[in-house]
């Protein structure tokens, strides 16, 4: 019975971390499959760095003025 509880915990945590990043990457124009990186230790930090410093493909052709 405890093995089933561990499996449930893994599925719930995967959904909790992967689904929001999937939606964010999809809307930003990145490949949504990158969200699976959230499951490795430190992966969430990697994804946040990608979102913060990469040029978003969805913004190609638009000009963003820095003030």
Structural domains in the chain (count): 1
pLDDT tier, 64 (very low <50, low <70, confident <90, very high otherwise): low
- The whole-number pLDDT of residue 63 equals 66
The yes-or-no verdict on residue 3 having pLDDT over 90 is no
Provide, for the chain, the percentages of residues in helix, strand and coil under a 3-state DSSP scheme, each rounded to the nearest 5: 75, 0, 25
The model's pLDDT over 8-63, given as tens digits with 9 standing for 90+, comes to 888 888 888 889 999 999 998 899 998 988 888 888 899 999 889 988 888 887 76
- The whole-number pLDDT of residue 66 equals 62
Predicted structure pTM score: 0.71
Closest CA to 42 of 17, 15, 25: 17
* Phi, psi (degrees; rounded to nearest 5) at 61: 90, -5
For residue 20, what are the domain limits? 3-64
């Amino acid at each position: 019975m405890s093995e089933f509880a561990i499996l449930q915990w893994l599925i719930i945590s995967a959904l909790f971390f992967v689904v929001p990043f999937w939606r964010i990457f999809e809307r930003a124009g990145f490949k949504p499959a990158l969200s699976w990186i959230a499951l490795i230790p430190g992966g969430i930090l990697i994804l946040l760095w990608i979102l913060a410093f990469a040029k978003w493909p969805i913004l190609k052709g638009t000009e963003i003025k820095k003030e």
